[in-house]
Amino acid sequence: MTEGALETGELAAGLALRHPTPADHVRIRVALADWWGGLGGEAGARQRQSLVPRLFLQHFADTSFLVERADGTLHAFLIGFLSQSDPDTAYIHFVGVCPDGTRSGVGSALYRRFFALAQEAGRRRIRCITSPNNRNSIAYHTRMGFRLEPGDYVDEAGTPVHRDYDGSGLDRVLFVREL
C-alpha cells in the first residue's frame, strides 16, 4: 500500500488514521460492546466481540484502519482484508464508528480508503455482510453503493436474507460493490 492511503486529508481536524495493532484489541472489544446502543442486548455485545478476535489485528492490520482522537480515544475502525481465494475480491469484515462520530463522514472516509487499497491491489469488488436486524447498516451500505445480493427469503422490510448463513439462527444480509 502506498503512503497516500494513510493520508488524513478526508478526516476532520483532530482525528488521526493508522493501521491497528494487537494492542488495540481491548479497546475494539469495548467499542463492540458499547457503540451499538444495546443492539441484541448482552448476547449481541458478546456476539459482536467474538467477530473481531485478535488474529484480525495480527494478520490483517495492513488492510485495516483505526481512527483516534487527539487524546488517543478510539473513534472508528475498519477491519478488512484481500480475499486469498478470489483475486478479484476484497472483504470488509467489520466497521465501527463511535456514537458521537456517526454522520460525520468518518465511516465513509474509511470505506473510501479501503476501496482505494483494494483497487491498488487489483481487486474489482468489495463484499460485506450484516445482520438483518441492523437496519442502519443496511441503509448505510445501500447509500455507499453496495447492492443487496439475493437471499433465501425476503424479510418484512423487503430485504433479501440468507437464512443460517453463519450458523443456526445467524441470518445475514449480503452486499457486493463493484469498484
CATH label of the domain that carries residue 22: 3.40.630.30
Q: What is the DSSP letter of 150?
A: P
Residues 174 and 117 in one domain: no
Q: What is the pLDDT of residue 1?
A: 36
Residues 139 and 117 in one domain: no
pTM: 0.90
Residues 104 and 135 in one domain: no
Q: Which residues contact 174 (CB under 8 A, 6 or more apart)?
A: 127, 128, 129, 148, 149, 151, 160, 162, 165
Residues 113 and 177 in one domain: no
Q: What is the pLDDT of residue 10?
A: 74
Residues 60 and 102 in one domain: yes
Residues 115 and 138 in one domain: no
Q: What is the pLDDT of residue 142?
A: 97
Residues 65 and 102 in one domain: yes
What is the chain's mean pLDDT, rounded? 91
Residues 51 and 79 in one domain: yes
Q: Could you list the residue range(s) of the whole structural domain that residue 160 is in? A: 129-179
pLDDT in tens, 33-66: 899 887 788 888 888 888 899 999 999 999 999 9
Query: φ and ψ at 95, to 5 degrees?
Result: -135, 140
Q: In total, how many domains does the chain have?
A: 2
Given the C-alpha cell 487524546, which residue does it identify?
Answer: 71
Is residue 70 within 8 Å of 17, Cβ to Cβ? no
Q: What angle do CA 46, 22, 107 make, to 5 degrees?
A: 70
Residues 78 and 15 in one domain: yes
Per DSSP bridges, beta strands 160-161 and 153-154 are antiparallel
Q: How many CA atoms lie within 13 A of 73 on its CB side?
A: 10
Residues 43 and 72 in one domain: yes
Residues 93 and 33 in one domain: yes
Q: What is the pLDDT of residue 2?
A: 38
Q: Euclidean distance between the first and final Cα of the chain, in Å?
A: 17
The segments of the chain whose pLDDT lies below 50 read 1-9
